[in-house]
């Protein structure tokens, strides 16, 4: 029987670099991501379909590693991407 080892580190498959760098810049200035960032990411995923929901989830999770505390908007956005049809 083959046993697969579980990797304790998160495995980000496709972090969107544009949004990742934008969020790091926002965080360095404001200690949070901007509402413009939240809206643009949501539009690119839900409206324009330029980014897949999984890529957006990976991006948000990667950004959360840099933040001491996440806000409600970021958590709500993550829930929208995880469950697009409530």
Evaluate if pTM is beyond 0.85. Answer: no
Cβ(49)–Cβ(10) under 8 Å? no
- Summarize pLDDT for 1-29 with one digit per residue, the tens: 555 554 445 555 689 999 999 999 998 89
Cβ contacts of residue 50 below 8 Å, gap of 6+? 44
User: How do residues 64-83 score in pLDDT, each as one tens digit?
Assistant: 887 878 888 889 999 999 98
Q: Which two tokens stand for residue 29?
A: 């200035």
More confident: 44 or 12: 44
Please state the domain extents for the chain.
Answer: 17-82
- Alpha-carbon distance of 8 to 77, in angstroms, equals 24
């Amino acid at each position: 029987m083959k046993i697969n080892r579980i990797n304790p580190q998160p495995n980000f498959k496709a972090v969107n670099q544009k949004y990742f760098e934008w969020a790091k810049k926002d965080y360095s200035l404001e200690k949070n991501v901007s509402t413009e960032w939240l809206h643009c990411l949501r539009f690119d995923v839900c409206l324009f379909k330029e980014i897949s929901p999984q890529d957006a989830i990976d991006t948000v999770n990667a950004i959360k590693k840099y933040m001491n505390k996440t806000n409600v908007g970021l958590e709500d956005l993550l829930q929208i991407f995880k469950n697009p049809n409530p």
